[in-house]
Amino acid sequence: MDELDLQILSELSNDASISVPRLSKKINVNSSVVYSRIKRLVKLKLIERYTIVVNDSELGYKIKALTGINMDSKQRDHIIEELFKIDGVREIAEVTGRFDILVTMYAKSLDQMHKMVSEKIGSIEGIQSSESFIEMKSRGKAMPYMQSKDSV
């Protein structure tokens, strides 16, 4: 990994649909070099896949929540399986800290989110407690292009 690799990764993380010729022009590097670097980054598994970011709000999913869950660890697989059956559950992460897992969920309204948490999650056997956090505002940061100290 060198600065050029980091710059390519940074640009692709901002826009995975950018063409190699456009990318090479943007970073001022020959197209064949950029193409071979991308191919190598994929081979090294630094690029796992190219994807899109869906605008959930435009689809009507205005409410996003993170729900921390404490559970009977003997029922982990059952609980995770049941959580993924719930429409709106997007991601489940096993974590350290005061919760066993964090669940990322989307809903079209607060009422729908309330039903997801109280009726659906609340009825899963093995869940001992949960605490939900409604996202009010979100800010993101793209992967920054890092320059080495020598080039600053």
Cβ neighbours of residue 86 under 8 Å, at least 6 residues apart?
A: 105, 116, 120, 121
Question: What CA–CA distance (Å, rounded) separates 97 from 103?
Answer: 14
84 and 29, same domain (yes or no): no
Question: What CA–CA distance (Å, rounded) separates 92 from 133?
Answer: 15
Q: Is residue 144 part of a domain?
A: no
Which pLDDT band holds residue 134 (cuts at 50, 70, 90)? very high
Structural contact between residues 61 and 110, judged by C-beta atoms closer than 8 angstroms: no
46 and 78, same domain (yes or no): no
Q: What percent of the chain has pLDDT over 70?
A: 94
Q: Is residue 98 part of a domain?
A: yes
The average confidence (pLDDT) of the chain is 93
**In the prediction, which pLDDT does 145 show?**
65
Strand, helix or coil for residue 91: strand
Domain CATH number, residue 24: 1.10.10.10
Q: What percent of the chain has pLDDT over 90?
A: 85
Mean pLDDT of 63-84: 97
Instruction: Count CB atoms within 10 A of the CB of residue 99.
Output: 19
Domain that holds residue 108: 63-134
Which pLDDT band holds residue 143 (cuts at 50, 70, 90)? confident
Domain CATH number, residue 87: 3.30.70.920
* The model's pTM: 0.78
Mean pLDDT of 120-127: 96
Structure token pair of residue 122: 């609340």
Q: How many domains does the chain have?
A: 2
29 and 77, same domain (yes or no): no
Mean pLDDT of 76-87: 97
Question: What CA–CA distance (Å, rounded) separates 123 from 113?
Answer: 15
pLDDT tops 60 at residue 151: no
29 and 76, same domain (yes or no): no
